[in-house]
Amino acid sequence: MKLLTNCIFLFFLVPCVYGQKIDYSAIDARVWAMKNDPSIDLKKQVSELTNGLANNFLKTRAIFDWVALNIKYDWETYNNKENEQPGYVFKSPAMVLNQRIGICSEISGLVKEMFTTAGIECVIVEGTASGMRPGDIDAHAWNAVKLNNKWYLMDCTWARTMPMKNAEVEFFYFLTPPEQFIASHRPQDKKWSLLDQMISVDGFSALPIIDPYFFKYSSKSYPLKSTLNVKNGKLVVDNYVKADSKQYIQIESGNDIISDYMGTSQSTSADNTTVSYDLKEIPKGEYLLNVGVYVPAEGEDGLDEIKTMLVFNLIIE
């Protein structure tokens, strides 16, 4: 699936822990600079990551960074469904550490072992997660970590395997607020949603793909339905972007871009709640609809960008 842009946050950003800003930049730089030594054992690796750090939030960030930067996702095993075959031997944390590769359950197992070694309570959370297309749901595993007597959610696998370049980490999946995490991760056990109410199985499978950028550029609640229908050539979409931003769309068929934000005529409703697009030139059929936000360049050398927020199934009747 082609998205309008990659969803990467660089390592030097300063994220919030449920509204409280913590400066992790020194930790990020420290882990970035570490030598990658596959021969090192787990206990020594954890010691190198956490020694001298003042609190468990900083230790947690160091372990998260290191796993996301150094452990690759095993796409070959995933694509061949080898882990679903009888006789598949799951890698131990030590094997994942030394081989620098694993599927989600193996990576989350390594994460748990590293946190246990660091003296921080951590569990593996099993459940389902959004797939590559709206409506696709895959089995998945991630982690919850206990800091200052409070549980937090994190996914080192997605921090690495979302559209990724070398030495970049998707920090959205670090101590993510539960009400945002549930948009893409549904645990088997409601307890690990960290919410009073958890979305149903059917409700979860009906969601569109909700990109981390949605929570950065939209002030609205995320949509609950993954399919949009077009009649008489007119598509009406909620205006998800904040008041000072502009929303765009891109329509795909297979791997081909049928129409993008430059090729659609659009108008915003008087109350700024919806945006209309003229799709009369597009044949009837089923497509993917990427909804994005226009982000102007910062500085003279910057580039304007379109950030993907949502991906829907689109049916033109």
Looking up residue 36, the CATH number of its domain turns out to be 3.10.620
pLDDT of residue 243: 80
| Strand pairing report for 101-102 and 72-73 | parallel
| Phi-psi label, residue 150: left if phi above 0, alpha if psi -120 to 50, beta otherwise | beta
- Given 207, 241, 268, the domain boundary residue is 207
Q: Could you tell me if 143 and 164 lie in one domain?
A: yes
* Residues 299 and 152 both lie in one domain: no
pLDDT of residue 264: 54
> What is d(CA 202, CA 167) in angstroms, rounded to the nearest whole number?
37
Q: How far apart are CA 112 and CA 106, in angstroms?
A: 10
Together in a domain, 191 and 279: no
Question: What's the structural domain count of the chain?
Answer: 2
Do 117 and 232 lie in one domain? The reply is no
Burial of 305 (0-12, 13-18, 19+ CB in 10 A): middle
Do both 191 and 233 map to the same domain?
A: no
Q: Which of 73, 76, 129, 139 is nearest to 102 (CA)?
A: 73
Domain identity same for 72 and 131? yes
Q: What CATH number is given to the structural domain containing 285?
A: 2.60.40
8 domain-assigned: no
Residue 18 predicted with pLDDT over 70 = no
- β-strands 185-187, 174-176 pairing: unpaired
Q: Within a domain: residue 66?
A: yes
The phi and psi torsions of 211 (rounded to 5 degrees) equal -80, 150
**Mean pLDDT across 86-96:** 89
> Is the pLDDT score of 141 beyond 90?
yes
Domain end marker among 187, 207, 227: 207
Instruction: Please report whether residue 6 resides in a domain.
Output: no
Same domain, 21 and 130: yes
- Nearest residue to 311 (alpha-carbon basis) of 213, 233, 234, 169: 213
Give yes or no for a contact between 66 and 160, defined as CB atoms under 8 angstroms apart.
no
Six-digit token string for 164: 């990724």
Among the listed ranges 22-31, 162-171, 292-301, which one has the minimum average pLDDT value?
A: 162-171
- Same domain membership, residue 225 and residue 192: no
Cα–Cα distance, 231 to 217 (Å, whole number): 29
- Using an 8 Å Cβ cutoff, are 177 and 195 in contact? no
In a domain, 61, yes or no: yes
- The pTM (predicted TM-score) of the whole model is 0.87
Among candidate residues 159, 176, 207, the one where a domain is terminated: 207
Res 265 pLDDT > 70:
no
- Residue 279 belongs to what domain range? 216-316
pLDDT at residue 280, rounded to an integer: 86
Please check whether residues 118 and 260 belong to one and the same domain.
no
Instruction: Clarify whether residues 282 and 193 are in a common domain.
Output: no
* Residue 70, in any domain of the structure: yes
**What does the alpha-carbon distance between residue 111 and residue 205 come to, in Å, rounded to a whole number?**
27
